[in-house]
Amino acid sequence: DTGVSQDPRHKITKRGQNVTFRCDPISEHNRLYWYRQTLGQGPEFLTYFQNEAQLEKSRLLSDRFSAERPKGSFSTLEIQRTEQGDSAMYLCASRDRYYEQYFGPGTRLTVT
Amino acid sequence: GNSVTQMEGPVTLSEEAFLTINCTYTATGYPSLFWYVQYPGEGLQLLLKATKADDKGSNKGFEATYRKETTSFHLEKGSVQVSDSAVYFCALSDPSSNTGKLIFGQGTTLQVKP
């Protein structure tokens, strides 16, 4: 069990650019979640997958955001035409059969 | 809607002091409740959980009891250490859907001084 990993750990981009983040969950976990955390706040739910199916998306996830989980393994979160308001920590978590979510270290996005 | 409210921080204590971090929730139905901890520069780690009323979760000297009558899940530790300095998040698993998504409070920063 190597834990949940995320790549990159930090991303600085200019407004208007596209960015993509990757999450590798714990291998036997079939549920995967994305959250966003801004400074001084708790994480907020963005979307989740059961295997390869994306089953729920938050209203926070505008049409500039898209997430995939091909083959039910790793997942990617893409933000198109980034805005300064997208600056945040993006967290990925996977869930075990005891309903416990294990979080990755996060990707910190800074949009300049 | 479902929500979690935590006491505002920062909480500053001396080593070996007693810790309480208050957490109350609003939910329709019967959520599971969690405390997560975020050490500086690290990801969120599950500290403890409780899945039904009157359950007590415990780990590493921390405890919290699921109180349905007061809709609370306060975190306590009898004697804090400098190494407990971190941000603590209370969370519930949304009972109104079967997604298992977590709803978090805003976090409480704990600083323990030697």
The tens digit of pLDDT for each residue in B70-109 reads: 999 999 999 999 999 999 999 999 767 778 899 999 999 9
Q: pLDDT band at residue A1, thresholds of 50, 70 and 90?
A: low
Task: Say if the Cβ atoms of A42 and B49 lie within 8 Å.
Answer: no
Residue B100 · residue A95 · CB < 8 Å: yes
Chain A residue with Cα closest to B94? A45
Strand pairing partners for B87?
B38, B109
Whether A25 and chain B come into contact, CB under 8 Å, resolves to no
Residue B75 · residue B21 · CB < 8 Å: yes
Query: How many Cβ atoms from other residues are within 10 Å of residue B69's Cβ?
Result: 7
Residues 6 or more apart whose CB falls under 8 angstroms from that of A23 comprise A4, A5, A6, A32, A34, A74, A75, A76, A77, A92, A104
pLDDT recorded at residue A8: 97
Whether B106 and chain A come into contact, CB under 8 Å, resolves to yes
Average pLDDT over residues A53-66: 90
Phi, psi angle pair for A86, to nearest 5°: -80, -10
pLDDT recorded at residue A60: 83
CA distance A15 to chain B (A): 26
Cα distances (angstroms) measured from residue B40 to each of B24, B47, B77: 25, 15, 20
Pairing of strands B19-21, B102-104: unpaired
Strand pairing partners for A48?
A33, A56
Q: Which of A55, A56, A103 sits opposite B44 (nearest CB)?
A: A103
pLDDT recorded at residue A40: 87
pLDDT recorded at residue A28: 86
Q: What is the pLDDT of residues A73-101, one digit of tens each?
A: 999 999 999 999 999 999 999 998 778 89
In whole angstroms, give the CA distance from residue B87 to residue B73: 16
Residues 6 or more apart whose CB falls under 8 angstroms from that of A94 comprise A4, A25, A26, A29, A31, A32, A33, A101, A102
Look-up of token digits 């978090």? B104
Residues 6 or more apart whose CB falls under 8 angstroms from that of B62 comprise B35, B47, B48, B75, B76, B77
CA distance B106 to chain A (A): 4
Chain A residue with Cα closest to B41? A105
